[in-house]
Structure 1
Amino acid sequence: MNHLSGKIPPSLTSLNFLSFLNVSYNNLEGPIPKGTQLQSFDVSAFEGNPKLCGAPLRNVCPLMHRNSQDMENEPQLSWVHTSVVLGFIIGLGGFCGPLMLKRCGDAYFQFLNNVQDRLCAMRKVRA
């Protein structure tokens, strides 16, 4: 007994050279991190920790709310990205929507031709 408490750090799963681990009879809690190393150890390496759950133990982890630290590590969709995508979709719909309607499509192409003519004329005046 080492008087360990808290959760098992997920970084232990990256220790591929770890061939033996015994954390039995401590005060560990939460899920055992998923990784090839920790699930390969015998159940006796984790016994005596009643709040510990997950493979290789028979204790199934209850569905818990994710803590704020886990939420911080996940990439989040920002409002800027959302508004850019939404603006692109609305702009594309505003351009392609009238083209799908035959009557409006002809008028729309005529409008774009007029805009192009005006821009070319403005460019020639400046040059």
Structure 2
Amino acid sequence: MSTLNFLGYLNLSHNNLSGKIPSSTQLQSFDPSAYNWNHGLCGSPLQNCANGTHYSQVANEEEGNGDWTEMLWLYIGLAMGFIAGFWMIIGTIIIKQTIRNAYFRSIDKVHDWIYVKMVVCTLGG
């Protein structure tokens, strides 16, 4: 991207970019507002890289902890949803005799349909 020389307008704001902006006349010619909310970016036309690199390392460490807790909550939510859904279906089948009978009849019908299709395909082919 640093080798492009035909850009008239560029806005990279709000992308959580980090690192040093590549040295090229094109990228340094844009207004610093084009790089807003990319706290890890440094270099011309922004602040020096010593502060930007340190900030980006701190942000990455904090981001790593945030990702771990977010993933933990994701797995907890998935497990709770699975357990609740599983027991709602199984509990209904266990408690209601009419639903239980309909469920097992449908399983028998599917089993019979599959068996008939296999026999017809085997004998016909």
Shorter-chain TM-score tier: 0.3 to 0.5
Q: TM-score, normalised by structure 1?
A: 0.38
Greater helix proportion? 2
Q: TM-score, normalised by structure 2?
A: 0.39
